[in-house]
Amino acid sequence: MGYDPEKAGEGTGTERSKGRKVERFWEVDAARGVAIIMMVVYHTTYDLDFLGGYDIQSTSGLWARFADVTAGFFLFLVGVSLAISRARTHLMGWRLFGKYLARGLRIIAYGMVLTVVFLVLRMGLVAFGILQLIGVSIILAYPFLRLRITNLVLGVVIFAAGQYILAQNLYSQSLWLLPFGVLPEGVMMPDYRPLLPWFGVVLIGLFFGNVVYSGGGRPAGLPYEAPVVARPLLPLGRNSLFIYLIHQPIVVAVLAALGIVSLNFL
């Protein structure tokens, strides 16, 4: 459960305005760095559970809540970064939509690569994981990019409706209902983040970004330079998509090399 929301939404530090590189916001990078650490911790726990046979129950109880909080943190930052990106771009109309469409499709493609990896490792089906969610959300967020209170209200409604649907434990033979919280019966989904409720979190982040980073600038009173305690987090936040794509094979390989998990099932 991870991604680079900054790059996904034409990020806060990589977009150029009139040929000049725009500064990165250290607080966004630091927040994303924290989310990356949380993600690696959870995925390591998941690997110990499903590959090592340890009785951790990583998909239920407190660990399931930890995973949800981590995913929600990432998705909130997707919305924040989309708001900053929109404020800093000079594109309009179909050109602006085309930018987000291309980026959304790229993130979806990364998600499909991970789907193949999970199938090869026999760790379950990732048919609508967090990367697919982020890619679709970037595209769907286009009509909402400039909205504020509407995004907050819609975000809360979508999140609440999605939570209700998930609580019903609905099943269907159709994979087309996956984005809406309806699972195919008997299929293990280790990374499942449907639009309902999670697109609501993106809209809430978009509301926050449009309010706090109005005009694409840093909030008044926030230090320009990152404090010392936050600096180790910045490389993680700036490379979060890359870390997400490579961390699972590395974690599994290290655990296998230490004899903690077994890959004999391959």
Q: What is the pLDDT of residues 39-64, one digit of tens each?
A: 999 999 999 998 888 999 998 999 99
Average pLDDT, the chain: 88
Whether 2 has a pLDDT exceeding 70, the answer reads: no
pLDDT at residue 183, rounded to an integer: 84
Contacts of 216 (CB under 8 A, 6+ apart): 22, 84, 87, 88
Question: Mean pLDDT over residues 189-200, rounded?
Answer: 93
Q: Say what the pLDDT of residue 3 is.
A: 41
* Whether this model's pTM surpasses 0.85: yes
Higher pLDDT, 86 or 17: 86
pLDDT band at 93 (very low <50, low <70, confident <90, very high): confident
The three-state secondary structure class of 17 is strand
Query: Mean pLDDT highest for which of 14-23, 115-124, 237-246?
Result: 237-246
Minimal CA–CA distance to 75: which of 21, 126, 15, 132? 132
Which phi-psi region, left, alpha or beta, contains residue 43 (left: φ > 0; alpha: ψ -120 to 50)? alpha
